[in-house]
Structure 1
Amino acid sequence: MIRDVQNHRNAGRRKKDLRAAAIRRTLIDISSAVSTTFDLDELFRVVHCKLARVINVTNFAIGIVDRRTGILSFPFFRDEWDVGYDSGYRFADGDSLDDEVLRVRRPLLLQTADLVRRAADRRVAKMPLIWLGVPLMTGNEILGVMSVKSYTNPDQFDRDDLEILTSISQQLAVAIERKVAVDSLRLSEERLRGFVEGTDDLVVQLDKEGIITYCNHTAERIFGEPADACIGWAIIDFVHKDDAEAFLDAILQILSRRRTSIVVENRFVNRRSGEAIPLHWTIRRQYDTCGQSVVVNGIAHDLTNRNRAEEERLKVLKLESIGVLSGGIAHDFNNMLSVVIGNLDLLQMKGNLREREREFIHAARQASLRAKELTLQLISFSLGDAPRLVPGNLGDVIAICVDRVRAKVATQIELDIAPDLQLLCFDAFQVDHVIDKLLDNAVEAVAAGGSVRVRLYNHHPDVDIGLQTEDEPPLRGRLVVIEISDTGVGIPDAHRLRVFDPYFSTKSRGNQKGIGLGLSVAYAIVRRHQGEIRIWSKPGSGTTVRVYLPAEVDPDRMN
């Protein structure tokens, strides 16, 4: 009898020892998983599997509180009754059991009687007979809840089970906090990456030697090399030689702590095209945790469009000032020329003039007529000559102008007018003047051989990119395009940038040539129609001029 009692006691102790060993092994395995597993879903699966050694986890759930919204969600659950885990049973006080654990911030072991007392009129399809939940906390911050329940055995869990869940709850809370921190960091990095890679500005990071350690995609447009290929290059290698010393001094001021930030403008040279691109830099240094300068961060904005707009503004101001001056002079000069031409006509009517004298008078009259033509151009150039807009078919005006030029020259001129042209409001006389001047230049460019092509079509920005370059501002609205191209000698870049300047001409200052106002007048007319005129040319490859006229014109902007 005594031996049976001792055997029973020994069996009980062995059973306790085995359970204690299993609990220790489970806690060690879970602790190891928390340290080595960074994926929460995988960690929750491991915890569920390991806990099954010592606790019935047939119905098991882990909930996490969203710090921003305060909503409790369950990324992991196992339930033999519900295929989708209900976040909690609604009780009379308006909280679920999980919410109650979060509110009281301590473990809860609820027996059947406790559950019945808490139950409200509205219940879920199946109420458990016992429920155990523990909060997941780090310090004073609550991150979630872990719970188990049983639908069949009201004695399934006891205080020992509560202690087991409590012992691993802090480890789980640490893992959740780590995951939340990692997700927050990842989200921050994604936002920063989206900003850095999404901006058209150049973003670079340099080490203390001025070597590029990072640059965004804009580097390819500025440097002429893919962003990855720029890593390891010295930033100074891309700076224009005339700006290198000042830029290097700016970086040295940052590294030497004489300045915390600096703003500088300079030019960088595109290695592929050789183009000098103006940039506006904001440069700052970045410190490590010990307060030491470790890298230099720089953001550069491309000033090409700003400079182009400024040049355009100055050109307009120049045209305005010259227009005002030339308009006033031209009116008075035209009156004087009318008197001169009238007197020359009267002199030609005399019958006793010798042939030599008549030749002199005729030459004087022709020179006066050319001077009168110049005054008419000056008057047209003046800002007071606003277009008289009338709805019409631009194709008819272009066809008449082309036929007129064909009758004067032997050059082959091809005309292509799209059948679906939009109707425009335009000044037919002024537009005829623009086409006439552009055709004259195209015909002169192919005087030694070549052809001229005139096209008229609707502008479709998505499909008709043509000669559009990346650094030109996009065209907006409904437009009709007049395109005049030739296969002539082309125009050097230095001249192409000045062709619309008043009095600029590469022609000789002789008979009917070299006035230098033809394209200036054309430019002024197009701008008064609220249009654009653009020119593309390379020496030996011909020239293409496009005039873009809008279908809708704002009357208040015609001047």
Structure 2
Amino acid sequence: MKEQLYNKKAHDAKSFQLQAEQIKQLYRNAPLGLIASPINAAVLAIVLRNVVPSQALIPWLACIFLVTIFRLLLLQRYRQVLSTSVEAGKWGTWFTLGAGLSGVTWGSAGIFLFPATSIAHQTFIAFVLGGMAAGAAATYAVVTPAFLAYAVPALFPIIVRFFAVGGEIHTAMAVMLLLFAILIIIVGRQVNSVTLLSLRMRLKNIGLIADLISSVTTAEKLNRELSEHRTHLSELVDERTVELMKEIDERKRAEAEMRRTAERFQSLIENGLDMITVLDPDGKILYESPSIERLLGYNDTELTGMNIFEFLHPEDQDAAVEALAKVTGKSGKTENVEVRIKHKNGTWRLLDAAGKSYVDDTGEVKVIVNSRDVTDRRNMEDSLRRVQKLESLGVFAGGLAHDLNNVLVGVMANIDIALMSPELEEQTRRRLEQAMKSSDRARDLTNRLATFSKGGEPVKKILSIGHLIKNSSDVALSGASVSCEVAVPENLCPVEADEGQIAQVINNILINAVQAMPRGGVVRIKCENMPAGSDDASDIQEKRHVKITIEDQGPGIPVEHLDRIFDPYFTTK
């Protein structure tokens, strides 16, 4: 009975001590929230000043500052008073009350500061309240009631308000905010669990240290008593004690060195650029280093127990099976193989993997694989080869343009001389003039070849892209069994571009479309203004631009040709 009572008291003491540590952590995190609260409130008030009456905005802002001052005074008082384990509950209650007042005040913004006419400002309020709740998950979740007292009243009023407004957008925003609130609460519970586990471990370590100190003190006392009662053995005891101390010191040094070595290896594995994987002989994943999240998007335990071949590209599995068989067949042998492995987002990443087998302390064969992502390097190598190829093509195009120009100069000069003759027949003159026009077009082509060979810049000017598209489509589709639907809005912005190059691009695409639909069909051309920041063109996404979409009903471009569609003069004809 006494033993049960003692165990209950010890458990209660540990609970009070854990609670005190939680409250200390809570007050230690509090300054971040107290600083952010008035600053964010001031920013929100500035943004809403033109859409919310000052009769509502100023009192709300004053309440924020009053609640913040109250919480600052509470924090200062806590720091002045040395809180004991018994008093921790009281200080936790006060903090929860302050957090609740702050959450209610922030939540009232979703009711009293809600601009009914501006969805942008409504969205901004939701963004600010969501940010404050997310911050509370990081700072207050160490004590769940304090976190809930802040997050619930801060988020749920605006969720209710969005539901009350109704409509597709407001209902969607309400659902998203509700989902966000649920996720934030779940995250808060997880943060609370991790924090409690950390505090319990720290308290346990403190207790172990105290027990160790007590044990050492008791041992020293026993040694002194033994020395007093057995003086005739003092020399032997002293000698043995010295030996034991040396052994203890050596053992401590060895243990410390082992810990440092383990920490170094753990740090290398966790922070290294390469991915470390441990497999069994069948390819089952036994361990993944944390770097897998950076390389492939999975966390380090997500793939444990699964087979590595499930994630390899089908074309690379035979090579991987062969390399694994060689490694497991001969201990200590290292095999290198390049394989494509599926990223969590569905894309394929190219890894340079080196595997080596070893036998663990249980006698089982394991394979440790060191993998490095070489996708970007391989892409750069491919790009370099493409650039070198284009440079060679440019040299050839320059020479060809020069030779053609020399020929055209002679041809055009002779045509000019022939046209000067007054005795020419009218039909002959017309044919010579047509030949001169054809020579002009040929000279324009040679100039473009020369521009390509020198890497010249396009001649840009402001032009109406819609007018150019209509003219190009009329010319390219003339006489074809293909109809064209052009959608050009009246407010289409003018663009800065090389008119000849753009016309040539559109003309070539339309000719390809006609050739792809020998039995006829419809080509649809659509133009639209795109704002800055849109995701359709990464090289100009920071500027406003015009997007041109050309769609035909042909079979499409084969996959094996997609990488070469931008190579100059590439054709499958």
| TM-score grouping bracket, smaller chain normalisation | 0.3 to 0.5
Greater Cα radius of gyration, structure 1 or 2: 1
- TM-score between both structures, scaled by the size of structure 1: 0.48
Higher strand share: 1
Higher helix share: 2
